[in-house]
Amino acid sequence: MTETGLWISDVNHSYEGKQVLHGVNFNVPAGKVVALLGPSGCGKSTILRAIAGLIVPDQGRITLDGRDLTRVAVRDRKLGMVFQNFALFSHMTVAENIAYGLAGLPKAERVARVERLLDLVRLRPFAARFPPRLSGGQQQRVAVARALATDPAALLMDEPFGALDRALRSELQAELVRMQEDVGITTVMVTHDQEEAQAVAEQLVVMNEGRVEQVGSPEEIYDNPASLFVNGFIGHANRIPATVTGPSRLKARDETELGFNRALNFRPGSEIVVTCRPEDLALSTRPEQGAFAARFDRAVMMGPLLNIEATLPEGSQFKAQVPRDGTARPDRGQTIWLRPNPARLQVFPAPQA
Ligand SMILES: Nc1ncnc2c1ncn2[C@@H]1O[C@H](COP(=O)(O)OP(=O)(O)OP(=O)(O)O)[C@@H](O)[C@H]1O
């Protein structure tokens, strides 16, 4: 039985003797969108280049719908590509740009396909325009339509909306999701924008220094991060260095004791880091059990929420996000108590110094 979708198996790659991909493994189920994300230089584009055939990885296998791509020439891979600096032909109309790869088709079929794609990206009224007279978002939609024109087996997108402003980005993200519902094409999208990844992709592949740290749905990755790195990269994580004192108890550096509703997978005496999302902290202006005393620095309103910044006695910064329920804001410098929800705490081994 052939395995559908795109499979990246044990891929290693080096540039000039420096290894930049270390045993990369993940797969994109047929018809789904997977986002590759991670800090600059972690190897995202290198993976995309290996899939596209622009580089041959030192080791590993890449298969698409059961076909081994590793030794297939770029033009025979049947991939559509959309990059940040998309190059449309400025002397051709929108329709001509989209039809560019369809020269081999009979005219009637070519026209029908271009019209279908114009509808898909909602550009039919712009068919006869030249790209310099389109907005950035419209140009990018032409690039997507052009990439889809040849009916590719998969779509590769490298920071496709990177050059656009925030509002336009989210509009195009929503369009991509809608379009995927229509065409359902196996897609790998590289982005460094975690909100974009969460908005568009069913699965995220979080990378760090050439390695895959975690693969999972946006919810799995946010709620059950596999490492301290993933925890801090996707969303904000307040970090609390602590020592395990019992099967489900620990003591932070400031002597605050926390109880857990589950057994910790660490022996008593282990040095650990506990993390807590800003929205999982409750604010009080009076001492409370299981709450950290902190100095209130500032609060910024965000619609119904208050984003609070505070400093723990040992100097680490804490962020909290609480409902703006009408209670008075603390004064700058005042001591406040932040109580984490024990069910939402994450525990990791302390990083080696
Ligand atoms: N052609 C090349 N020659 C030598 N080193 C390269 C080459 N291309 C990339 N690298 C290096 O390989 C590593 C991975 O680069 P890559 O472009 O894949 O990262 P990335 O995650 O896509 O980064 P960014 O988000 O900044 O685009 C980096 O350390 C980079 O400097």
User: What CATH number is attached to the domain comprising 73?
Assistant: 3.40.50.300
CA-nearest residue for atom 6, ligand 1, is 15
Q: Is a pLDDT exceeding 80 seen at residue 86?
A: no
- Pick from 16, 21, 46, 196 the residue to mutate for probing ligand 1's pocket: most ligand atoms within 8 Å of its CB: 46
Tell me how far the alpha carbon of residue 338 lies from the centroid of ligand 1, in angstroms.
Answer: 41
The predicted-structure confidence for 110-131, as pLDDT tens digits, reads as follows 999 999 889 888 899 999 999 9
The predicted-structure confidence for 34-82, as pLDDT tens digits, reads as follows 999 999 999 999 999 999 999 999 999 999 999 999 888 888 898 999 8
Looking at the structure, tell me whether residues 50 and 192 fall in a common domain. Answer: yes
In contact, 278 and 247? CB cutoff 8 Å: no
- Pick from 44, 51, 58, 211 the residue to mutate for probing ligand 1's pocket: most ligand atoms within 8 Å of its CB: 44
The finding on whether 44 has its CB within 6 A of some atom of ligand 1 is: yes
Looking at the structure, tell me whether residues 245 and 180 fall in a common domain. Answer: no
Tell me how far the alpha carbon of residue 230 lies from the centroid of ligand 1, in angstroms.
Answer: 20
The predicted-structure confidence for 2-38, as pLDDT tens digits, reads as follows 689 999 999 999 999 999 999 999 999 999 999 999 9
Q: What is the mean pLDDT of the chain?
A: 90
Looking at the structure, tell me whether residues 210 and 262 fall in a common domain. Answer: no
Looking at the structure, tell me whether residues 67 and 159 fall in a common domain. Answer: yes
Distance CA 219, CA 336 (A): 31
Contacts of 37 (CB under 8 A, 6+ apart): 44, 190, 191, 192, 193, 194, 197, 204, 205, 206, 207, 233
Atom of ligand 1 nearest to the CA of 190: 22
The domain total for the chain is 2
Q: Work out the angle at residue 42's Cα, subtended by the Cα atoms of residues 36 and 45, and round it to the nearest 5 degrees.
A: 55
What is the distance in angstroms between the CA of the first residue and the CA of the last residue of the chain?
A: 48
Looking at the structure, tell me whether residues 192 and 51 fall in a common domain. Answer: yes
**Closest among 92, 25, 13, 6 to 58, alpha carbons compared:** 13
CA-nearest residue for atom 29, ligand 1, is 41
Confidence (pTM): 0.88
Looking at the structure, tell me whether residues 17 and 149 fall in a common domain. Answer: yes
SS (HEC) of the chain: CCCCCEEEEEEEEEECCEEEEEEEEEEECCCCEEEEECCCCCCHHHHHHHHHCCCCCCEEEEEECCEECCCCCHHHCCEEEEECCCCCCCCCCHHHHHHHHHCCCCHHHHHHHHHHHHHHCCCHHHCCCCHHHCCHHHHHHHHHHHHHHCCCCEEEEECCCCCCCHHHHHHHHHHHHHHHHHHCCCEEEEECCHHHHHHHCCEEEEEECCEEEEEECHHHHHHCCCCHHHHHHCCCCEEEEEEEEECCEEEECCCCEEECCCCCCCCCCCEEEEEECHHHEEEECCCCCCCEEEEEEEEEEECCEEEEEEECCCCCEEEEEEECCCCCCCCCCCEEEEEECHHHCEEEECCCC
Mean pLDDT of 154-175: 83
Distance CA 236, CA 279 (A): 10
Mean pLDDT of 314-338: 88
pLDDT at 228: 94
ipTM value of the model? 0.97
Looking at the structure, tell me whether residues 69 and 173 fall in a common domain. Answer: yes
The finding on whether 152 has its CB within 6 A of some atom of ligand 1 is: no
Looking at the structure, tell me whether residues 45 and 134 fall in a common domain. Answer: yes
Looking at the structure, tell me whether residues 247 and 324 fall in a common domain. Answer: yes
The finding on whether 22 has its CB within 6 A of some atom of ligand 1 is: no
187, HSE (Cβ side, Cα atoms, 13 Å): 29
Given 178, 213, 231, the domain boundary residue is 231
pLDDT at 216: 96
pLDDT at 306: 92
Looking at the structure, tell me whether residues 259 and 222 fall in a common domain. Answer: no
Looking at the structure, tell me whether residues 136 and 265 fall in a common domain. Answer: no
Looking at the structure, tell me whether residues 221 and 276 fall in a common domain. Answer: no
Tell me how far the alpha carbon of residue 188 lies from the centroid of ligand 1, in angstroms.
Answer: 17
Given 201, 231, 261, the domain boundary residue is 231
Please indicate whether residue 324 or residue 13 has the higher confidence score (pLDDT).
13
Given 231, 249, 283, the domain boundary residue is 231
CA-nearest residue for atom 13, ligand 1, is 41
Please indicate whether residue 353 or residue 104 has the higher confidence score (pLDDT).
104
User: What CATH number is attached to the domain comprising 318?
Assistant: 2.40.50.140
Distance CA 23, CA 260 (A): 36
Domain extent for 177: 5-231
Mean pLDDT of 198-204: 93
The finding on whether 192 has its CB within 6 A of some atom of ligand 1 is: yes
Q: Work out the angle at residue 90's Cα, subtended by the Cα atoms of residues 189 and 143, and round it to the nearest 5 degrees.
A: 20
* Position 12, amino acid: N
Distance CA 329, CA 283 (A): 10
The finding on whether 20 has its CB within 6 A of some atom of ligand 1 is: yes
pLDDT at 313: 84
